[in-house]
Chains A and B, each alone.
Chain A
Amino acid sequence: MHEPRDRAVERKPDDDVILSVEDLAVHFPLAGGLFSRDRRLLRAVDGVDLTLKRGECLGLVGESGSGKSTVALSILGLQAPTRGRIVVDGQAVTDGPSSDRKALARTVQIVFQDPYASLNPRQTVRRTLEDPLRVHGVTAASEIEDRVATMLRHVGLRPEQAGRYPHEFSGGQRQRIGIARALILNPKIVICDEPVSALDVSIRAQIINLLLELKDTLGLSYIMISHDLGVVEHMSDRVAVMYLGRIVENGHWREIFERPAHPYTQALIAAIPDPLRHAPLATTGGDLPNPLNPPNGCAFSPRCRYAEDVCRHEPGPVLGTRPDGHTVRCWRADEIAGSGVLAATE
């Protein structure tokens, strides 16, 4: 793992940063109905800053509705942001039907969760891998064949299997095809959206190992979206935790998992069942709040065991930097950080 914390040159545009997301917001107006005056706004993503360095794996963690998938869609250029800026490898991702869509395609790709829905059932593996090359101007038949064969070997499939259709493969093999498709254009960044959670448990390790190998051999940078904290800890160099459209904690994986400072991060970690102990799980109380009607102040305050009056009043907490360098959005981080995983028996 190479993570040189170079602070040598001040404010110089960081060559190491391959992706930066600045103040990203995605709001969806919800029409209440034809005659309803109710014009509510769903703030799916509300002011997110992220950076991804070359060769790094950034884990993006949060529950459904936290906005992590919307962030991914915006980076891929599939979701126009309401506000904010996304810079990928020096190029700003513009919204709408841009002419840079192809350039973006050669930089950022995605591996989907569901290997069954993410492959066109009517196309052979070869077609699935050749078409992108043709679209991007590779015309020599020999080069196309070479690149497809090489890519299939990279993901652990045999080039002879290229003539088959997706339904002839198992779930794990389909995910390998999905990975091959994401990598065929030699992108620099790959967004892995829950890449193993739809797979059988005994297959997951194969795919996790494959992704990590490919990252090293091909020099890729990953954004790893997952709700499985074990997988995130194993794969990530840095981890960002999202809650209700905002990042609540962001830092080196070791800091996030060993010294979580945000009560939500602590709750997430504590909620993971310990297989060696027949012991109660730590509960948080209540469900995720309705994102259409977010709580006042800190969005986590209604479920937070540390919440005080200050947490329930506007304005909500801002991201502050902890002494160990990771950032936390909590008024009381100083008091509760380091208490580690919440004691379940408290």
Chain B
Amino acid sequence: MTAAPLLEVEDLRIDLDDGARRVAAAEGVSFRISRGETFGLVGESGCGKSITALSLIGLLRPPLSIGSGVIRFEGREIQHLSAAAQRDLRGNRIAMIFQEPMTALNPVSPVGRQIAEMFVLHKGKSWREANQLAVEALASVRVPAPERRVHDYPHQLSGGMRQRVMIAIALACGPDLLIADEPTTALDVTVQAEIIELMRNLCAERGTAILMISHDLGLVANVCRRVAVMYAGRIVEERGSADIFRAPAHPYTQGLVDSLPRLGSRAALGRTRLKEIAGVVPAITSFPDGCRFNPRCAQASDICRTNAPTADFLEAGGLVRCHHHA
């Protein structure tokens, strides 16, 4: 447990420059991921989860930028690395897969070549060797007939096959951390199961840590060992994945767990009215003062409207940011 974490994010703030002023699209974001661990970042659109991921690999583009905070990879600060050093880190040590593989793959290049490129760029292999490795990589993500599929272009593959190719590219150089941003949101549920299992098994075999980003708390809780829930730019709760579903501590997490119809609950309990979370998701430019969940929270009191809660460590492990947490 005392070994240096693979990735350490400390008090990260991401600024959004909307012309007139700078607002914090994410702030006070801290978490650690150990080697080989699976960690989930859950939240709704605009909560800051995806931009947090992009900041880790230096892919934030204006109007977004890192305002303050530290990102350490294997103990080394990486937030101010040069473009070349970041490029070397990306792909080689930290890899990423995206929601829509069609936009992340080059449409005019055969998928085999796109995989081989990783070996040439990051491992200094010759193209001949790299092409051979590409076939093996495709075989490892269980693409049938890989020696033929390497010649296919992305549009010739189904959505599930494209995501497999993305995983093959991402894992080509044996990265230590795989960032998966909504990797299965565009896919059907049976295909999602295939892709999740593939990702989970390959990473477990190779000791690759996973940072999974999703709006689907259920999926993340199933895949990851620990889960952080983000709301309006801040982490509100970080727990072991089973705990967060059984005994959510933050009212927002409680709301999420209670509000979603779960398979089997109607059969067990009959159809009851779903518990709603009142109100709307705030826009980045109009985050409320104090605890950002307070306008939607049934337990909100005066202090919640003025003071942002600090992190409380829970006895059962994990932390929560709430003045009145369970």
A and B associate in one complex: yes
Which one of A200, A258, A285 lies within 8 Å of B281 (CB-CB)?
A: A200
A234 CA to B267 CA in the complex, in Å? Answer: 9
Within 8 A of A (CB), among B230-259: 241-242, 245-246, 252, 255-256, 259
Whether A201 pairs with B274 at a CB distance below 8 angstroms is no
A284 CA to B191 CA in the complex, in Å? Answer: 8
Stretch at the interface among A35-43, A273-281, A316-324: A273-281
Q: Which residue in chain A gives the minimum CB-CB distance to B44?
A: A200
CB distance from B273 to the nearest CB of A (A): 6
CB distance from A157 to the nearest CB of B (A): 12
- Which residues on B sit within 8 Å (CB–CB) of A268? 189-190
Q: Which residue in chain A gives the minimum CB-CB distance to B222?
A: A273
Whether A233 pairs with B266 at a CB distance below 8 angstroms is yes
Interface membership of B165, Cβ < 8 A? no
Whether A201 pairs with B215 at a CB distance below 8 angstroms is yes
A310 CA to B226 CA in the complex, in Å? Answer: 46
The B contact surface, by secondary structure, is: helix
**Total interface residues in chain B, CB < 8 Å:** 50
Chain B 24-60 near chain A by CB (<8 Å), digits 1 or 0? 0000000000000000000011000000000000000
- Which residues on A sit within 8 Å (CB–CB) of B264? 233, 257
Whether A204 pairs with B45 at a CB distance below 8 angstroms is no
A200 CA to B216 CA in the complex, in Å? Answer: 10
Whether B280 pairs with A63 at a CB distance below 8 angstroms is no
Interface membership of A288, Cβ < 8 A? yes
Given A231-B261, A233-B263, A271-B190, A287:B196 Cβ within 8 A: no
Whether A234 pairs with B274 at a CB distance below 8 angstroms is yes
CB distance from A259 to the nearest CB of B (A): 11
Whether B218 pairs with A208 at a CB distance below 8 angstroms is no
Whether B189 pairs with A271 at a CB distance below 8 angstroms is yes
Chain A 274-313 near chain B by CB (<8 Å), digits 1 or 0? 1111111111110110000000000000010000000000
Given A201-B256, A234-B266, A284:B194 Cβ within 8 A: yes
28 pairs, A vs B, C-beta closer than 8 Å:
A170-B281, A173-B280, A201-B260, A205-B259, A205-B276, A206-B278, A209-B274, A227-B189, A230-B263, A233-B266, A233-B267, A257-B263, A258-B267, A268-B190, A271-B190, A272-B218, A273-B193, A273-B222, A274-B218, A275-B218, A276-B245, A280-B200, A281-B193, A284-B193, A284-B194, A287-B158, A288-B188, A303-B190
Which interface residue of B160, B190, B241, B245 has the most chain A CB atoms within 10 A? B190
Interface membership of B133, Cβ < 8 A? no
The A contact surface, by secondary structure, is: helix
Within 8 A of B (CB), among A190-206: 200-206
Whether A273 pairs with B161 at a CB distance below 8 angstroms is no
A274 CA to B280 CA in the complex, in Å? Answer: 28
Whether A204 pairs with B260 at a CB distance below 8 angstroms is yes
- Which residues on A sit within 8 Å (CB–CB) of B320? none
Chain B 261-275 near chain A by CB (<8 Å), digits 1 or 0? 111111100010111
- Which residues on A sit within 8 Å (CB–CB) of B213? none
Whether B281 pairs with A203 at a CB distance below 8 angstroms is yes
Interface membership of B223, Cβ < 8 A? yes
- Which residues on B sit within 8 Å (CB–CB) of A227? 188-189
A252 CA to B218 CA in the complex, in Å? Answer: 26
A201 CA to B197 CA in the complex, in Å? Answer: 24
Whether A271 pairs with B260 at a CB distance below 8 angstroms is no
Interface membership of B192, Cβ < 8 A? yes
